[in-house]
Amino acid sequence: MRIPIAAPARRFVDQVVVVTGAAGGMGSAMAERFAVEGAQVWVCDAHAEGAAAVAGQIGGRSLAFDLSSPQAATEAIASILAESGRIDVLVNNAGINRRGPLLAVSAEDWDLTFAVNISAMFHLCKAVVPAMIEAGGGSIVNNASQAGLHPIAGSIAYSTSKAAVAHFTQNLARDYAADGIRVNAVCPGEINTPMLQSGMRGRGQTKADMDALVPYGRIGEPAEVAALVAFLASDEAPFLTGSCVEITGAQVAQ
């Protein structure tokens, strides 16, 4: 099911927007939304071919780098600033999910989950915030997942890392509100992405099975999350900062 992108205004004309994890799923929908609204979009992902393909489709730029590397994350922001001159919006969407309860999660999977889901966010924000301060403001939107607010059984690494994202978001917002930098997070529930589809196949579930768990009657679509991200990043939400907004179809985390 494809949800039409409704763009009531071109809210990001002449703005530079960076989206991580944008080679597919929610990230590519976010990149598309910002492009439709007039932004110069940098499609960032660890997968170079996927990032380039999305960038080609939306008329954006692509940059591939390893989000688990602090140096790579810092250099990526420096490269974008050097080429584009500014970054108005940073969307920290990239994330991985190494499933399992405590005794089933390896130390390597735990460390990688935190490296990608929260440490990369730290390094990217640390690199971009000085430029936003100099520019007089900016917007950062993080993907905290519903799991960041309501732990999901069998996903201790993912849930704990996403809880860190939620708190990171609120701390960063409070620290730099006076500099005109707004920081918010989206907390999606079950969204129809390749990651979810892979999990469903592994559990022997169908989309109909997942739809039945959601009071609204269906799981969400990436474009719906993208619309929320664009709103949070836009000038239509000037007083909204430090918020973690759930988008779940009224579903309670399982």
Q: Among residues 158, 165, 188, 232, which one is catalytic?
A: 158
Phi/psi for 235 (5° steps) reads: -70, -5
Q: Answer for the pair 185, 165: CB distance below 8 angstroms, yes or no.
A: yes
Helix-strand-coil split of the chain, %, nearest 5 = 50, 15, 35
In three state form, how does the secondary structure of 31-100 look?
HHHHHHCCCEEEEEECCHHHHHHHHHHHCCEEEECCCCCHHHHHHHHHHHHHHHCCCCEEEECCCCCCCE
Alpha-carbon torsion (216, 152, 28, 171), positive or negative? positive
How far apart (Å, rounded) are the C-alpha atoms in residues 225 and 27? 9
> Is the four-CA dihedral 83, 84, 90, 93 of positive or negative sign?
negative
Per the annotation, the verdict on 158 as an active-site residue is yes
Q: How many angstroms from the chain centroid is the CA of residue 211?
A: 23
**DSSP designation for 102:** G
Which residues does the annotation mark as catalytic? 158
